[in-house]
Structure formats: structure tokens, C-alpha cells
Structure 1
């Protein structure tokens, strides 16, 4: 790496709903500071976003909701671990000094995805996030265009209010949640709905829960 290669400091400033967005997504604005006077021509930024689950406390209610992910509370000492949320690539245009660039993170309500299951079942407080960055910075060294890799330890922490996720899901899926069913299971549920002349899917599921005592 050239001795004149820039050092970058990256800070996550906020978490807001991405606009406009046909599907749920969050935007995380990054404040990027470069070595003073160095002209950055472009930055290709790869981000691995992880939920740092051990970095917050959980009451009994939270532990019950998160049992499927981490098991019984007495085993959390060995089972409570970081969860991968997503990986994304952001192209940052030229700047000198500092700039702000957003990372856009698509959000799913698919409960087969561990991160979605964790975020849905966290009732309140904050989500501890860790952003791990890699990538290539293109910069001018005099009149020469140079390239350098970001150091492996380039990262940033951010604590996102749980309400940010909750408000996003409520905006796109008001008062609803989504699950995937195998086709055979769906056909059986549909047959149950027709057989009992139930008006909607909620009625069909509720009738089964009431029968099972759930």
C-alpha cells in the first residue's frame, strides 16, 4: 500500500426508512472521513451487516420470544451469538475530506430468516448492529490514480431503536405478518377453511388454534 494512501473513518449516523421504496428497506447514512487533502475519486464499499445479539440485555419476556433462536435461557451463555443480517455493495462517488453516503438494506418479513425472526421478536429497546467494511478506494496521488484496499478492521457499531424496524413493517404490512407454507399444507388449510365456511385466513388459523387450545 502506498504511504500516501488515504485512511478512512466510517461512522453510521442514523437508521431511517428508505424513500421511495416499493418493498421495505432501511437506509443507514454513513459519514465517511478521509485523510485531509486526499482526493477520493471513488469508493467501492462492501458491507457485512451483523446483529451483535450478545451486546444487549434481555428480560424474561424477550427470552421467551427468542427461545426458538437461542434455546432456553440457561444455555444462552453458549448459544447467544451474532447473526448475519445482510451483505451489500455501495458505490460512493468522488469527494475530498468527508461525505455522507447511504447504505440501503432490503428488509424481509420471512420468518425462515434468522435476522427477521430476531427483529420481529425483540419487543423494545435497541438492536446492536455491527457494520464490517471491505472494499477498494480509488484516489489521486499527485496526478496518478491509485487504488488501495480498506484495512480488514474497518468497522462501525450502531444501536438502532427497535421502533425503526417496527414502524417500517407496520408501514408495509399494516397489522399483518407473513409465513410461508408448503403447498400441501396450504391445500389442507384451504380445505379446512372451505369445509367450515370460514370467511378469511385469520378465521381458519384461529379455528385451528382454538381446537388445539393454543
Structure 2
């Protein structure tokens, strides 16, 4: 039976992806010396918010997710970020591979809302692995399963995520609206001849609220 270990070497933006994507550089080792033909690797990436501290402004922005800070001892629980997969090529002893990590800027998604709220520091990640291993020996090919208990932890600098979003959505963000609400906003914009959605919300929000949010 093969014996694997996983280590995260780095996480960085994928510069040529059409959509926001991070590349997780994985170092995979196999301790028995078996000849690995390939691995169909699956990974569940979770954020562990309880493993870092927070500034007052971050606590305010995270109230929608975790409630008031006085209750965080009960509410600060791991968040599922995404599930992803990659085909690992054949190797013996060790190999490095890039694991794709698709990202969204939709603030209705808990992980995106959490990441956007962080101003500095690191994001504690837990990567939990599974998948199918194809081995090659003297008697032919073999098939094994990666046990669920294998995982790796990594503290990703939050600037990596902000750099990724700035590259794809410079100085902007996304919110999801009901179709009827969007239709009414579109009519409001057309009737007043407003250029751009920022002007629509600038008219609808009281001036003092806009000033306070800056």
C-alpha cells in the first residue's frame, strides 16, 4: 500500500486564466518507493477562521457571517471554500503539481465574503485529499484509494486573493440581485439618464452613508 504525504509550497494567482483562479503548488511524496503511474486527485479546501485574530474593522464586516464578536467562540467555524481536482502525472518518491483553485467574487458565497472582509494577515487553510491512485508494478497495474485523513495546512497571505481580484475586477465588486429588482433599477437608470450603476446607487443612498463608507 502506498504512503503519501502532501505539503503546500505556495499559492499564487494564475496569470493567464480567463476567470479568477489561484494555483496551489503541491509537493507530494510517496514513502514506499512504489512506481506511481498517475493520481486522479481530489481536494476539498476549507478556511479555518478560528486560527487567526481580527482587527475591529474586520470584526464589523464579518458580523453577517459569524454574528457579534462576543459570540465568536461558538460561531467561528470552518468554511468550505471549494472542491477541486487535478491529474497528477507518474512519479517515484516525489513530484510537484499545481492544483487549480477557482475563485468567485460573489459576496453571496460565504468564503468570498470572508476573504473580502480581511484587510491584512493570513488565511488559515486546510486541504483535505482523496482520489484514486494508479500504480505500476511487475505484475501490471494496480488501483488504490487515497485515505480521507490525509490533509495539508497552509497560511495564505490575504494579499494573494486581493491581487487576484484586483487583476480581474479592478476597483469593483459584485452583488446578486433579484430579476425584478434589477429591472426596476434599470428603469430608474434609464428614466434619469444615469451613466453607470455607480450613479444609480449614489442617488439612492443618502449622502451621509456614502461619506461614512469611504
TM range (shorter): over 0.9
Query: Which whole-Å CA distance do the structure 1 matches of 2:207 and 2:6 have between them?
Result: 54
* TM-score, length-scaled by structure 1: 0.93
Q: Tell me the equivalent position of 1:155.
A: 151
Residues 42 and 92, structure 1, Cα contact 8 Å, conserved in 2 = yes
2:18 to 18, 22, 33: 22
State TM-score, norm by structure 2. Answer: 0.93
Stretches of structure 2 lacking an aligned partner (at least 5 in a row): none
**Are the equivalent residues in 2 in contact too, given 1:36–1:96 (CA < 8 A)?**
no
C-alpha separation in 1, matches of 2:16 and 2:91: 25
Partner of 2:119: 123
Any unmatched runs of 5+ in structure 1? none
> Which whole-Å deviations, capped at 9, do the CAs of 1:134-156 have from their partners, x for residues lacking one?
11212134333222211221000
RMSD of aligned alpha carbons: 1.5
Correspondent of 2:7 among 7, 11, 18: 11
> Which stretches of structure 1, 4 residues or longer, exceed 4 Å deviation after superposition?
211-214
Pairing 1:57–2:70 present: no
Question: For this pair of structures, how many residues does the alignment match?
Answer: 210
Q: Hey, what's the Cα distance between the residues in 2 that align with 1:118 and 1:50?
A: 12
Tell me which moved more, 60-69 or 144-153.
144-153
Match of 1:44 among 24, 40, 44: 40
